[in-house]
Structure 1
Amino acid sequence: MSFDLRHILSASLFSAALAMPGFAQEATTDTDAAETASEAEAGTGDAAAETAEVEPLDDIFLGDDSAPLTIYEYASFTCPHCASFHVETFPKLKAEYIDTGKVRFAQRDVYFDQVGLWAGILARCDEDKFYPVSDMLLSEQEDWMGAENGEELVENLRKIGAKAGMTSEQIDACWEDEARVERLVATFQQNATADEIQATPTFMIGGEQVPNQSWEDMKAVIEEKLADAGGSDDAEDADAGSDEGEATGSAN
């Protein structure tokens, strides 16, 4: 899923997020969408300056802090390719690299639209529950996004929050927290701009931008980066062989 960062600006996204409950109950017309895009393009410079002044939120990591390799995934909760990666590939990444201490992982939100931002606010409502909520948003994407209208969509998001142990009052408070929303938008824009992200999912693996691809191809990149960092199985086997050789030589 591709996007043009110039058209996703803090002013328009921030305003849309603040109007969330009311906006969600009314269909957006094509004219409204066109006007929003036009206003966003016109305000590119001002919006970029505004977000640069807002302190971004910290990444939320999975895995060992001392892992030799860090991977960032840029993902949108409304992106079907992101949902596919989450269901089909992420479990392999987690089992083989994150849970084994080789990779430290962080998911970074990308907001294509108001709905994606609303979902992102929900996911960050309780940062201790970010990954469980993210898991539900992505694995159940077709269900909650299959709402027939905005009101039903909001209720679907509330149900996901409830399954994570959030109350309706807590969810509303997060959606209405203007300062928090502003920081979420600024965090997205600053990170995506710095890493030149143009599509989701996109990965930063050891500082290198890697597009969405098959697990085997991604695994090859990970192994290469781990070898460079001295943290791959091959590197460990080589070190073990070297140590063994040295021990044998000493014994002789």
Structure 2
Amino acid sequence: MKRRTILMAALAAPLLPTGLVLAQGGTAGDSAKPFDPTVVHDRDRVLGAADAPVTIFEYASLTCSHCATFALQTLPEVEREWIETGKARLVYRHYPLDRLALVAAVSADCMKGDKAFFAYIDMLFAEQSSWARSDDPLAALAQRAALAGLGQEAFDACVADEAQIDALLARVIAARDTLAIESTPSFIINERKVSGALPYDEFAEILEEAHRGT
């Protein structure tokens, strides 16, 4: 059985198969160091300065309506008041809840640079009801990827890249098992877990508490 099949089954299972090693970018059985979701990695997509005192890890699924609500209604003000002022940085991590979200996440990871990545993510959340519910969601997704600079040939190669899919799923499972991420959107804010698409005022209160603790 291919490892991707094992990992997809593991996402729905209460426990991982015994002995499955989730290595960063590797395969089961690799001796590479397992992915640690509690720290920022070079491959992470980040908004904000590296020395910001507050770090927000966001776990989101691109087909999740609550994630879209946060992205459209709360995040813009978080960016203005916290990220652009240097008080916080946001580390976006995928937590796909279905196969379409997985394909969307993989295509996002093929975007070159954080600017293109976040522009694509913003577009997918803003137009979620259109592409995710279309008669041919994969084609709708490919059209949006093309607008973001990932042409059809590159898109097809990207979403068929099993090594990339494996690495993404390994990070998802590491977040589930290490941080107890169970739903989207979920956040780890300076080690505090927060769940749900909170309105800005409530989210800002949590950021203020985190900032006072630094």
TM-score (norm 1): 0.71
Alignment deviations for residues 22-74 of structure 1 (CA, whole Å, 9 cap, x no partner): xxxxxxxxxxxxxx79x96498314x714257364732111011111100111
2:162 is aligned with 1:178: yes
2:136 is aligned with 1:165: no
Alignment deviations for residues 178-199 of structure 1 (CA, whole Å, 9 cap, x no partner): 1111111111111232111111
Distance 2:175 2:15 in 1: 19
Indicate the SS of the match to 1:44: coil
The equivalent of 1:140 in structure 2 is 127
Distance 2:83 2:122 in 1: 16
Over the aligned positions, Cα root-mean-square deviation in angstroms equals 2.4
Indicate the SS of the match to 2:22: helix
2:9 is aligned with 1:11: no
2:45 is aligned with 1:51: no
**CA pair 97-40 structure 1, distance change in 2 beyond 3 A:** closer
Indicate the SS of the match to 2:17: helix
Over alpha carbons, which structure has the higher Rg? Answer: 1
The equivalent of 1:225 in structure 2 is 210
Indicate the SS of the match to 1:162: helix
The equivalent of 1:125 in structure 2 is 110
Distance 1:109 1:187 in 2: 8
Shift of 1:218: 1.2
Q: Is the 8 A contact 1:110 1:188 kept in 2?
A: yes
Indicate the SS of the match to 1:106: strand
Amino acid at match of 2:171: T
Q: Is the 8 A contact 2:186 2:195 kept in 1?
A: yes
Distance 1:135 1:72 in 2: 17
Distance 2:152 2:21 in 1: 31
Q: Where does the alignment leave 5 or more consecutive residues of structure 2 unmatched?
A: 27-33, 36-40
Shift of 1:216: 1.1
Shift of 1:214: 2.5
2:49 pairs with 64, 74, 93, which one? 64
Distance 2:129 2:13 in 1: 31
**CA pair 127-188 structure 1, distance change in 2 beyond 3 A:** farther
Distance 1:10 1:192 in 2: 17
Runs of 4+ in 1 over 6 A off after TM superposition: none
The equivalent of 1:24 in structure 2 is none
Indicate the SS of the match to 1:204: strand
Distance 2:191 2:77 in 1: 21
Amino acid at match of 1:49: L
Alignment deviations for residues 1-42 of structure 1 (CA, whole Å, 9 cap, x no partner): xxxxxxxx953555xxxxxxxxxxxxxxxxxxxxx79x9649
TM-score (norm 2): 0.83
Indicate the SS of the match to 2:138: helix
